[in-house]
Amino acid sequence: MTAPVRRRYRDKLVEILDRVLDTQPEALDAARDAVAAALASDHLVYVAGSGHSHLLAEEVFYRAGGIAAAQAILDPDLMLHLGAERSTLLEREEGRAERALADYPVGPGDVVFIASNSGRNAYPIEMALAAKARGALTIAITSMRHATAITSRHGSGKLLYQVTDLVLDNGGEYGDAALIVGHDRRMGPTSTIAGVFILNAVLAEAVDKLAGIGVDVDVYQSANMQGAEAAAQEMIRRWQARIRGL
């Protein structure tokens, strides 16, 4: 008997997350150490993405259980709600990432994660190049299966994974949709779930590493827990001058 789609989807996700952990411990350790170094030296962790990849940037920003020193780099034109097809076209436009980054003081000591499943469009590639030019350490979250099966849409001819300091493979299939449903439909994307897992795991490990050497990191707790609202407001006050959008 064929397993229900929901079960197959769950099994595929578990397989991918296990593969993420099992096949790239050195890269994950390097990302953790880079984040820990940034936090210990009072620098920021930035996350950028366009289209559905922008969800990873929102995931770490002002998040219960997330670090206060996380800054989402968001361009509303690339976030679907102002026109989904339009955003797809705009993320291919060269020069846009440089304009978006002008609103954020990225510099030496900072870490910038750039999420893009394919890594082929101009925006993520140029975001990585611009962040590196400012002295930040850059980390790609991408699908290597997808990236190695396509060509770049950027004038350099390079893909995201070829221009960042570190690469974290989200383990996804070419095209992202991991299940065959019906007769021939592909559904069940995995890049968002895997990307969120990677980001939260790396950030949590970095905070845990710093705690082991006596370095405390500001971490948001839910303001909806009983008696937690005052602490959440105090955290915002501490970070409002440095984090755009609080």
pLDDT in tens, 167-210: 999 999 999 999 999 989 999 999 999 999 999 999 999 999 99
> What pLDDT score was predicted for residue 167?
98
Q: Is the pLDDT of residue 90 over 80?
A: no
Query: How does residue 131 score in pLDDT terms, banded at 50, 70 and 90?
Result: very high
- On the CB side of 96, how many CA atoms lie within 13 Å of its CA? 23
pLDDT, tens digit, 9 for 90 and up, residues 27-67: 999 999 999 999 999 999 999 999 899 999 999 999 999 99
Residue 70 tokens, joined: 């996380």
Query: How does residue 1 score in pLDDT terms, banded at 50, 70 and 90?
Result: low
Please give the Cα distance from 55 to 47 (Å, whole number). Answer: 10
> What pLDDT score was predicted for residue 35?
98
Residues 191, 66, 137, 20, CA torsion sign: negative
> What pLDDT score was predicted for residue 197?
98
